[in-house]
Structure 1
Amino acid sequence: MSEEQEKKDKPEEAPAVDPEREAKLKAAAEARAARQAAKEKAEAEAAEAAPPEPKPPSPKQPQLDRLVALVRQAAGDDAIMESYLNELNGDMPTLVIHNKHWRSIASMLKEHEELRFNYLRNVSGVDYETHMEVVYHMISLESKQEAAIKVRTERDAASVYSATPVWATANWNEREIYDLLGIDFPGHPDLRRIMMPDDWVGHPLRKDYEPLDSEV
């Protein structure tokens, strides 16, 4: 048999085992198994743990409840669409009311002897694409009680009765909302643009606004 044939027939020797490498692989596998076991144990303990204690009621809940009761008493049970405490704004009592009731509710909020919301702090408009809202933040200078009133309107022919006859400070805020969002305010004494030129096309804060010059 030739030397070349002997080399072909000779079985290949198994590669030498590297003890150090084998030890590292074993240690890595054990570490992965330990991490997985710890994770499963933590998940099991979390599942068995008692649920967290419920959040204590807000001290402003009675204010919200009373406000809801007074508004419904004055304007009817259907006047309020939604009521809640706004946690992101210090548990601000907040009402979402039907647009058709806003005119009478605005006067009531300022004149009612128990509420006396005689200072309108801010007015803002929001485009939610499906609808629009005008948000009125008010405070009673006597009791320091605060509230936010949201009035919804359709995006097409958006219209909310002006609060300016009740709170004069709404004047410029409503003009700005009219200018930038296109919400009409019937009853406003001087409703015209306040920031954009009178011949400006469109309302820049609407979600579907398309500027004439895309570079601007």
Structure 2
Amino acid sequence: MDKLTNELVLEKLQTKFAGHIANVSEPKGLLTIETDRETIIDLLSWIKTDETLQFIYLTDITAVHYPNLEQSFAVVYHVHSLVYHLRIRIKVFLAKEDLTIPSATTVWLGANWMERETYDFYGINFAGHPDLRRILNMDDLDVFPMRKEYPLEDPNRVDKKDFYFGR
């Protein structure tokens, strides 16, 4: 095969994981799909080992907090096919009440530190992770700093009043 395209990748994914692929988009040419927590490890393993796709490089694992959605947390995986210079973004949405997802360390050992960082900043629990603990913040910190649960500024600050800025 000469070139791998987003269309071919999507076709193969929809064939293999029928009913588990949703909200497909291509912002700036980056194929983005959503799946569920029950399918994510099978999907990641398959795109890594499939001889046609060869998405062998896990670029990043992170999360996003969407406080206004019912499933307000998205775990985001960026995977790269070094052979075909093609990337894919895979999202799994989770509800705040159940922030547990299987660990990708069974597919890529390098997922270890990425998952620890995601846990540290968002509180996502990666089931089966070999050493899930804080990596950058203090161990006794009882909040997750990247969650959008707190106001950005203190509303009682007097130096931020409009009349100081001629408004």
What is the TM-score normalised by the length of structure 1?
Answer: 0.63
Q: Give structure 2 stretches of 5+ with no counterpart.
A: 152-167
Quickly say closer, same or farther: Cα 1:192–1:209, change in 2 above 3 A.
Answer: farther
- Distance (Å, rounded) in 2 between the aligned partners of 1:190 and 1:74: 32
List, as ranges, runs of 4+ consecutive aligned residues in structure 1 with deviation greater than 3 Å.
none
**Identical pairs, percent:** 35
Question: Which deviates more from structure 2 when the two are superposed, residues 127-136 or residues 157-166?
Answer: 157-166
1:85 is aligned to: 26
2:161 is aligned to: none
Letter in 2 for 1:73: T
**Is this contact kept in 2: 1:63–1:93, CA < 8 A?**
no
SS in 2 for 1:104: helix
**Is this contact kept in 2: 1:64–1:84, CA < 8 A?**
no
2:79 is aligned to: 138
- Distance (Å, rounded) in 2 between the aligned partners of 1:203 and 1:197: 11
- Distance (Å, rounded) in 1 between the aligned partners of 2:150 and 2:53: 39
User: Which structure dedicates a bigger proportion of its chain to strand?
Assistant: 2
Q: Deviations over 1:44-103 (max 9, x none)?
A: xxxxxxxxxxxxxxxx9x82222222222222x21112111112xxx1111111222112
RMSD: 1.8
For residue 73 of structure 1, the aligned residue among 15, 25, 40 is 15
1:126 is aligned to: 64
- Distance (Å, rounded) in 2 between the aligned partners of 1:69 and 1:191: 35
For residue 129 of structure 2, the aligned residue among 184, 188, 200 is 188
SS in 2 for 1:178: helix
Q: Deviations over 1:8-52 (max 9, x none)?
A: xxxxxxxxxxxxxxxxxxxxxxxxxxxxxxxxxxxxxxxxxxxxx
1:197 is aligned to: 138
- Distance (Å, rounded) in 2 between the aligned partners of 1:95 and 1:187: 24
SS in 1 for 2:132: coil
2:5 is aligned to: 63
- Distance (Å, rounded) in 1 between the aligned partners of 2:150 and 2:127: 23
Q: Give structure 1 stretches of 5+ with no counterpart.
A: 1-59, 211-216
Q: Deviations over 1:151-175 (max 9, x none)?
A: 1111222122211221222211110
**What's the offset of the Cα at 1:105?**
0.5
**What's the offset of the Cα at 1:145?**
1.7
**What's the offset of the Cα at 1:197?**
2.1
Q: If you compute each CA radius of gyration, which structure gives the higher value, 1 or 2?
A: 1
**Is this contact kept in 2: 1:81–1:98, CA < 8 A?**
no
What is the TM-score normalised by the length of structure 2?
Answer: 0.80
Higher RCO, Cα 8 Å, sep 6+: 2
- Distance (Å, rounded) in 1 between the aligned partners of 2:133 and 2:8: 37
The yes-or-no answer on 1:168 pairing with 2:106 is no
- Distance (Å, rounded) in 2 between the aligned partners of 1:184 and 1:153: 11
